[in-house]
Amino acid sequence: MMNFKKKLSAAAALTLSVVMLAGCGNTGSSETSETQQTTAATTAEPASRIAELTGGKATIPELSLDQYEIPENDALSFTKDMKIGWNLGNTLDAVDDSGNLANDLNLESAWVGVKTTKEIIDNIKNGGFNTVRVPVSWHNHVDENYTINQPFMDRVQEVVDYVIDNDMYCIINIHHDTELEYFYPDSEHFDQSAKYLETIWKQISERFKDYDNKLIFEGINEPRLKGTGLEWYLNTNDPKGKDSAECLNKHNQLFVDTVRASGGNNGERYLMIPGYCASPDGVLTDLFTMPTDTVENRIILSVHAYTPYNFALQAGAEENWSVDDSNSTSPITQFMDKLYEKFISKGVPIVIGEFGARNKTENTQARTDFAAYYIAAARARGITCVWWDNHAFYGQGENFGLFDRRAISWKYPDIVLAMMEYAE
């Protein structure tokens, strides 16, 4: 059973007060390209900024959810310690396929208007997050043989080090390289996709082979048949859908084999793999198979779930969300229960690598309630979540931004406080 009240955690508020000390972007969750500008930093003292940013805007729900039995193993302890994560979205994953790219290192700020600094990551840490997912798109930074240019690889390592030096978990991946000429999960493009996947991961594995297990490799982001009616829906009765799911199983196996063969700590590093389009259905289908591995239970399932879709992601749709309304909560508990039954209860770890609720006419209270419930429900089932922050705040785009990287401040601290309340 669940009780619902409102409260503000004094301990959580104290945590957020630390990050207020310091003084644009593509608006898509993973795919869009609108540019937004952020406001300048305020100059008020920390205490007054807390009052300005949190006073009366939202309250945090008090939840009491049933706790599920979580098996005891190293993998589930590992993901539990990841606690809660934040995505450095629309940054190192930004792409430009116009053919007019003059300096590929400038892509980092092309969508968000600001390059990542240690100060940004320090503030994410101080906000209570223990994991940073660093999406990386590589195809603008390779030659005809898929050799990654060293300045870009150096920059990726620099950002990874910002995270690792804070004693946080860091996830790096292949992100917006899901095109026909790079990675496309079907039989027609299988050899091309395998070549790209293997070549990129050999280089990443070599560069980071001596990093400890706080660094996690994620094989590919949202693999799917882009440009088709099956892009976001795996129809297992469609021969193309079945073929794609089977190809992805082979690609996941290749990713695991490539990393494991690369030496150093990669022989036992935790690896994240997705099902089709990284959806819950992509791993719940019988077509999905776990890769075999040379080390026991070091594979984490990667799932993305902007659920319920009409509230969390769909433009012009539902702005309200209520913990007292089963139409709000059931879509979350239903998919999480299925993941728990098939995987968590069997000792297989899961990270929801992207979730969130876009800003719809400043519906901050609804988003705060949603964030609290989503995290509480996930943690009750042994699942760790990573909020998608694309540094987008205004306009009609997919505005998932929580942290203003230009101002170095939390724009929606209530949402952060709500997540931290239930992240332990």
**Catalytic site positions:** 175, 222, 354
Helix (H) or strand (E) holding 215: strand 215-218
Nearest-angstrom CA–CA distance, 284 and 335? 9
Nearest-angstrom CA–CA distance, 345 and 160? 32
Which residues touch 265 (CB under 8 Å, ≥6 apart)? 209, 210, 211, 212, 213
Query: Are 383 and 351 spatial neighbours (Cβ–Cβ below 8 Å)?
Result: yes
Cβ of 314: how many Cβ atoms within 10 Å? 14
Our measurement of the distance from residue 139's CA atom to the centroid of its chain's CA atoms, rounded to an integer in Å, reads: 20
Buried b (16+ CB within 10 A) or exposed e, 380-399: bbbbbbbbbbbbbbeeebbb
Reduce the DSSP state of residue 368 to 3 states and report it.
helix
Question: Hey, which bits of 27-178 come out as E strands?
Answer: 60-63, 84-87, 131-134, 169-173
